[in-house]
Amino acid sequence: MLKLFEYGKIGECAWRDELPNGLRLCVVPKPGYRKKMAFFAANYGGADRKFMLSEDWIETPAGVAHFLEHKMFDVEGGENALTTLSSRGASANAFTASNMTAYHFECTDMFYENLELLLKFVSTPYFTKDSVEKEQGIISQEIKMVEDEPDYAVYYGLIRNLYDSNPVRDPVAGSVESIRLIDPDLLYNCHRVFYTPSNMVLVAVGDIDPVKIRDLAFKILPEYNLPPARRDYGDAGGEYPNQLHFEKEMEVGAPIFLAGAKTKAGLSGDDMLRFELTASLALSVLMGRGSPLYNRMYSEGLVNDTFYYDFESTAGVSFLSFGGESQNPEQVCLRVLDEAERLVTSGVEQKFFARRQRSAYGHEIRGLNSFDNICYNVTVAGFNRYDYFKTVDVLESITAEDVRRFLAKYLRPELLAISTVRCARGEKDV
Amino acid sequence: MQRVYNKQIMRGVNLTCVKAEKFKTGCLSMTLITQLDKKTAAMNAMLPSVLRRGTARLPDMESIAAELDDMYGVRIEPALRKKGELQCIGFYADFPDDAFLPDGRNILEKTADLMGEMLLQPATSGGRLKAEYVDSERENLISDIKAEINDKRTYASMRLTEMMFKGERYGISRLGSLHDAEKITVHSLTRHYRELISSSIIQVFYCGAAEPEYVEQVIRGALATLPRVETYNMPTTELLTEEWTEPVKYLTEKMDVTQGKLVMGYRLGEAMRRPNHAALMVFNAVFGGAVTSKLFMNVRERLSLCYYASSGVDRLKGIMRVSSGIEFSKYNEALSEIERQLESVKNGEILPIEMEGAKKAVITAIYSALDEPGGLESLYLDESILGLSGDPSDLVPMVSEVTMEQVAKIADCAKLDSVYFLTGEDDNA
């Protein structure tokens, strides 16, 4: 039964249902908007490499989830769902992360026809030897393209510093070598195991009818309710990083870095939401735009406006990170650790904490403007069994002491690993 | 539907207000519209960042940040855009609407006042902008200019523009040149700032739930001390309308990359004499702007020659760029295939799905932009530069009526000017 949940404080509401086949559905009404969006995602990403397939554990090469995403758009008869959606004016796309594969479109016209097609093509695998071989060429190009991006290099440098065996170490798209091992049989198997409705979430946002959407999902998706496959991410390797440093030279204008530390993993439900919000708030108090530390480092030219921090929780791991361009990344790390120690020792001043909390509140409200953001967050919340629209309530309940404890636990010198991309040619004149 | 209010509220200050209640946030921007010029480009590029560092009342970033936090994390960010031969500089802010905050009051007014302060009452020392801020933002600008090389796709496109318009205004980067950035002093920047603030046309944009009359009053208050002169003229962009007959220029550069970047620049010539904006948008979507386009369907999907291939038209200048990521060895093949696809558009070999897909993609893009405060801001800034005053959705019926002949005619006018290739191999093409 579709059920309406109302969140008066933030001016939102959501219709939710769980179908007999296990699909979780959420429709977020947005009156007054012409644009409409649908987002259909499987709890299956680049890190889901080892899983149980009829009684046996099997290991798959890096890049299968992403490869599957590319091939799902093929429809029997030589048609391509992306072309059909585009020819109707919808702007459709898909992405694969380490913990999800998502297919989505945005349109202003023919929403239900587009939704029908989305549900159909994502639930109907169709692969041939030829089409798989051709895709190997296209994806090899995509892999090469990202390899030229310094941000990508610095990110995977950090991940490999932090973890020594977890599958998040390998790029989601795999490598030119690993994707050669992919064939139609493997794709069919992975689709069967992970694209089962009970392992998926459907979110729709816009001025749309929840009943029509539920009925379409009921009509088109398979009836069976199979439990999702068991999977194994291996060992996250304790609290210490695998190694402390990674360095690479690339053609960049200024050195860039990313430093980070492992945090508590394996949470779900409200505990996970609370931990993530505490982490973000702690990092914002420590080094956000409104923090004394950021402003001092900026004034001194130690960092510039590319400086950022992040907290990521995915596929059995979770870690904090911060980075950007800097001539002296080691110095930035030292300053961050010093400031953390100061806050831990002397406590986080209540007035300052309250300001940062207000700022975070505004940030969450702002996020409700973006259909992409709503779809993505409702999906993550669906996979992890918490309610995204309760974010501001949880946020308000976090205290300065929670933040202090987070900093004490995770911002310690022995936990911090750093990844740096330095300039290959030194100074370059433009 | 949205109500739009357009009014000159002070000499050289135009306010565009879109009243919309569906958004969770409001947005406000103040933009100085200046001529892109080699002498001033670097100074303009860094000015908003210097002004953002401190005001007379809030002398450093930390005190500004504290005030913004108190206003529920309002963001006021320096904005720098190149539009044709104009350099648009100023601030862009977005803020949660009062209705969704526990004790939200007058966030718009506070934001406008603070933005006005940044523009008009910067932190000074001895009557000049603070040396500390100028020095540090100059270093930031220099590192931004050096970092243009980081994103190879954008870098290749920038190199192409420099090639096509060497020594001309349009060839100037929105950040200015390294050489000019290094020469900026406290003295030169302060003088330039004073000149600019009194002589520039200022475009103010607001989108949100507030009544336009109230917004006008708020903006007048925020800009009360703005110095103004007698008359204002909108700076102009030279639109290229002549048929291009020069030989094609080629440049290949080597860098340590694993994927080649091929960028081609076309002049649209006669198609820009009495430009039909709807037809230009459809043409671009047919050729390389949409997923149903010739470039995407053929160069990428059918022939697997590249990972991406797309086109973009700058209607303020009258040029088109084609951008593609390819294997080094596919240079000749990709280049001639892109040319062949343009030829087929020119010959009117356009499938119904290509034509319809293009039109629908253009219409969706227009409507979607109207559903985003940032999209609206950019559309209305373009309109004020082009001297248009209609609702952007007025274009929709015109898009529907674009004919295949109009699209083919634009393709016929497009003449290849330059080809730039960024490769990782020594021996190429």
Range of the domain at A315: 245-423
Tell me how many residue pairs between chain A and chain B have CB atoms under 8 A apart: 191
Complex-level ipTM: 0.86
Instruction: List the domain boundaries for chain B.
Output: 3-222, 249-423
Q: Which of A7, A205, A289, A306 is the best substitution to test chain B (most B C-beta atoms within 10 A)?
A: A289
Which of A169, A201, A232 is where one domain is finished?
Answer: A232
Give yes or no: residues A110 and A209 share one domain: yes
Residues 159-218 of B with CB under 8 A from A: 177-178
CATH at residue A32: 3.30.830.10
- Strand, helix or coil at B376? helix
Residues of chain A with confidence (pLDDT) below 70:
425-430
Closest residue to A298, CB basis, from B61, B69, B359: B61
Give domain status of residue A373, yes or no.
yes
- Residue A234 region by backbone torsions, left for phi larger than 0, else alpha for psi between -120 and 50, else beta: left
Split at pLDDT 50, 70, 90, the class of B31 is very high
The token duo for A354 is: 């309250």
Does one domain contain both A103 and A75? yes
- Looking at CA atoms only, how far is residue A207 from chain B in angstroms? 11
Q: Token pair for residue A129?
A: 């030897």
pLDDT of residue B423: 95
Residues A133 and A64 in one domain: yes
Same domain, A122 and A101: yes
Q: Is beta strand A200-206 parallel, antiparallel or unpaired with respect to A36-42? A: antiparallel
**Where does the pLDDT of residue B47 fall: very low under 50, low under 70, confident under 90, or very high at 90 and above?**
very high
Region label for B90, one of left (φ > 0), alpha (ψ between -120 and 50) or beta (otherwise):
left
pLDDT (tens digit per residue) in B52-107: 999 999 999 999 999 999 999 999 999 999 999 999 999 999 999 998 988 868 99
Give domain status of residue A237, yes or no: no
In sequence order, the β-bridge partners of residue B249 are B418
Q: Are residues A95 and A127 in the same domain?
A: yes
Q: In three state form, how does the secondary structure of B311-348 look?
A: EEEECCCCEEEEEEEECHHHHHHHHHHHHHHHHHHHCC
Farthest CA pair distance, chain A: 68
Number of domains, chain A: 2
Q: Are residues A194 and A295 in the same domain?
A: no
| Neighbouring-strand partners of residue B324 | B262, B309
Residue A234 is predicted with a pLDDT of 83
Hey, do B3-222 and B249-423 end up sharing a CATH topology, with the first three levels equal? yes
A310: Cβ–Cβ under 8 A, 6 or more apart, which residues? A283, A320, A321, A322
Contact yes or no for B364 and A252 at CB 8 A? no
Instruction: Please state whether beta strands A91-96 and A101-107 pair in parallel, antiparallel, or not at all (unpaired).
Output: antiparallel
Assigned domain for A429 exists: no
β-pair type (A24-29, A200-206): parallel
What angle, 0 to 180 degrees and rounded to 10, lies between the N-to-C axes of helices B277-284 and B352-370? 120
The Cβ-side half-sphere exposure at A285, using a 13 Å CA radius, reads 33
Phi/psi of residue A428, each to 5°? -120, 130
Indicate whether A151 and A249 sit together in one domain: no
Domain B3-222 matching CATH 3.30.830.10: the answer reads: yes
Q: Which of residues 25-84 of B touch A (CB under 8 A)?
A: 25, 49, 60-62, 65-66, 68-74
Instruction: Report chain B residues whose CB lies below 8 A from the CB of A91.
Output: 361, 364-365, 368
Measured between CB atoms, which of A91, A145, A150 is closest to B364? Answer: A91
Predicted pLDDT at A429: 42
CA distance B400 to B355: 10
User: Which element (helix H / strand E) includes B83?
Assistant: strand B75-83
Inter-CA distances, A133 with A128, A181, A182, A187, B334, Å: 9, 10, 9, 13, 20
Measure CB to CB from residue B304 to each of A89, A138, A290 and give the nearest one. Answer: A138
B152 lies within 8 A of chain A by CB? yes
Instruction: Identify the pLDDT of residue A238.
Output: 86
Q: Do residue A199 and residue A278 come from a single domain?
A: no
Distance, in Å, from the CA atom of B24 to the CA atom of B207, rounded to the nearest integer, reads 11
Spatial distance between the Cα atoms of A273 and A377, rounded to a whole number of angstroms: 11
Token pair 């030989």: residue: B247
Residues A221 and A357 grouped into a single domain? no
Residue A200 identity? M
Nearest to A141 among B256, B257, B325 (CB): B325
The verdict on residue A285 lying in a domain is yes
Residues of B in contact with A305 (CB under 8 A): 49, 140
In this prediction, what percent of chain B has a pLDDT beyond 70?
99
Condensed to tens digits (0 to 9), the pLDDT of residues B337-364 reads 999 999 999 999 999 989 999 999 999 9
Domain match, A222 and A268 both = no
Pick B249-423's CATH classification: 3.30.70.60, 3.40.50.300, 2.40.128.720, 3.30.830.10.
3.30.830.10
Helix (H) or strand (E) holding B15: strand B13-19
Owner of token pair 């929670």: A402
Alpha-carbon gap: A311 to the closest alpha carbon of chain B (Å): 19
Min distance B324 CA to chain A CA atoms (Å): 11
pLDDT bin (cut points 50, 70, 90) of residue B429 is very low
pLDDT, chain A, mean: 94
Confirm whether A10 is domain-assigned. Answer: yes
B:381-420 residues touching chain A, CB 8 A cutoff: none
What pLDDT does B2 receive?
65
Residue A385 has a CB neighbour count (10 Å cut-off) of: 12
Q: What are the chain B neighbours of A35 within 8 Å (beta carbons)?
A: 367-368, 371
* Residues B17-32, mean pLDDT to the nearest whole number: 94
Where does B97-184 show beta strands of DSSP type E?
124-125, 128-129
Kindly state the DSSP code that residue B244 receives in the 8-state scheme: P
CB contacts of B255 in chain A (<8 Å) are 251
First to last CA, chain B: 55
Is A69 labeled as catalytic in the residue annotation? yes
Task: Please report whether residue A323 resides in a domain.
Answer: yes
On whether both A271 and A215 belong to a single domain, the answer is no
- In chain B, which residue's Cα lies nearest the Cα of A304? B140
CB atoms within 10 A of CB A78: 7
A365–B100 C-beta distance less than 8 A: yes
Assess whether A99 and A158 both reside in one domain: yes
Using one digit for the tens of pLDDT, what is the confidence trace for B302-316? 887 888 899 999 999
